[in-house]
Amino acid sequence: TDGSYMNRMMKYHMSGYIGIQICRITHATIFYIL
């Protein structure tokens, strides 16, 4: 169960990191367009 917990945490961390990158790119694009 410890390995599955680590795997789940890694997935959560990666999805959160990707979400932050998408938000940052979106904000930069909107700022550039405006």
Write the CA distances from 34 to 2, 17, 21, integer angstroms. 48, 26, 20
pLDDT score for 22 = 93
CA gap 17, 20 in Å, rounded? 5
pLDDT digit string, tens, across residues 1-34: 678 888 888 888 888 889 899 999 999 999 998 8
- Report domain extents, the chain: 1-34
CA gap 20, 13 in Å, rounded? 11
State the residue for tokens 């789940």.
8
pLDDT score for 27 = 94
What is the separation, in whole angstroms, between the first and last Cα of the chain? 49
pLDDT score for 1 = 64
pLDDT score for 29 = 94
pLDDT score for 24 = 95
